[in-house]
Amino acid sequence: MAAFQRFDRPYEIAGKLYALNGDDALDRFEAAKCADLFRLLREKETWQVPTLVVGVGNSAKPNVKQLADARLRYFPEFVRGLIKQNSEPSPEQLTATRRRFQTKLEIVRAMRRHRVKILAGSDAPNPNAYPGFSLHDELEFLVAAGLTPIEALRAATVSPAEFFGKLDEMGTIETGKFADLVLLDADPLADIRHTRRIRAVVVNGRLLSRETLDEMLQKAESKNAAAPKK
């Protein structure tokens, strides 16, 4: 009979799970040994949200500081604090981070080969993970991991609707569904980075033009620049 350990405080369970998913596990990963697990995930229709952007994704990019300079100004100080955690690793840590990020890409690539269902998520705010912005980062990482651009887009649209049993209400552009969509200036199927080239957004049937979106960003920047530092 399997032995079970009792946890009196829920956060102890979270701590154990994070320990199992630590750097040592990434350093010991072997795709062949995980094949049975991936087949089981597919058989049981267990969805996976890789959140490649968290921890290693953006941290492994050469332009981490530029990303911070461009994005942090839109967020309040407490959110900035969450994003800036561990943002200046040592050269040795950065080398290990980039190696482990390649391992994470390999894991997602293997899951795709085994037809495991994948959802897009960023788990922001977290170190180098920015609310809103990092969903676009995640789509780029999913493509780097072997998903086609259309598969990455589905992971952020149709698949979440399927997961929540809401395909009759959302996930695709059809008559009678919620009028939530993004209009782009370029084809994301040609380059997934084109999801950032937003011309307009429709939310609950309300059109937000590029000019309106820019005004919203300017207001967020002004508000957070004027906020007193704590």
Number of domains within the chain:
1
**The pLDDT of residue 199:** 98
Residue 221: pLDDT over 90: yes
- Maximum average pLDDT range among 22-26, 50-54, 147-151: 147-151
d(CA 214, CA 126) in angstroms, rounded, equals: 24
Q: Is residue 88 part of a domain?
A: yes
Give per-residue pLDDT as tens, 31-40: 888 899 999 9
CATH number at residue 88: 3.20.20.140
130: amino acid identity, one letter: Y
Q: Is residue 102 part of a domain?
A: yes
Q: Is residue 117 part of a domain?
A: yes
Mean pLDDT value of segment 48-66:
80
**The pLDDT of residue 9:** 59
Mean pLDDT value of segment 145-170:
96
Mean pLDDT value of segment 6-13:
56
The pTM for the full model equals 0.85
Q: Is residue 65 part of a domain?
A: yes
Range of the domain at 99: 31-170
**The pLDDT of residue 33:** 85
Give per-residue pLDDT as tens, 112-143: 999 999 999 999 998 889 999 999 999 999 99
Question: Higher model confidence: residue 221 or residue 57?
Answer: 221
Mean pLDDT value of segment 145-157:
97
Q: Is residue 209 part of a domain?
A: no
Q: Is residue 225 part of a domain?
A: no
Lowest mean pLDDT among 20-29, 41-50, 95-104, 147-156: 20-29
**The pLDDT of residue 47:** 96
Give per-residue pLDDT as tens, 59-109: 777 777 888 889 999 999 999 988 887 656 777 877 888 888 899 999 999
DSSP state of 72: G
Q: Is residue 184 part of a domain?
A: no
Give per-residue pLDDT as tens, 169-205: 999 989 988 889 999 999 999 999 999 999 999 998 8
**The pLDDT of residue 55:** 65
For residue 141, give both structure tokens. 């990482």
Mean pLDDT value of segment 46-60:
83
Q: Is residue 11 part of a domain?
A: no
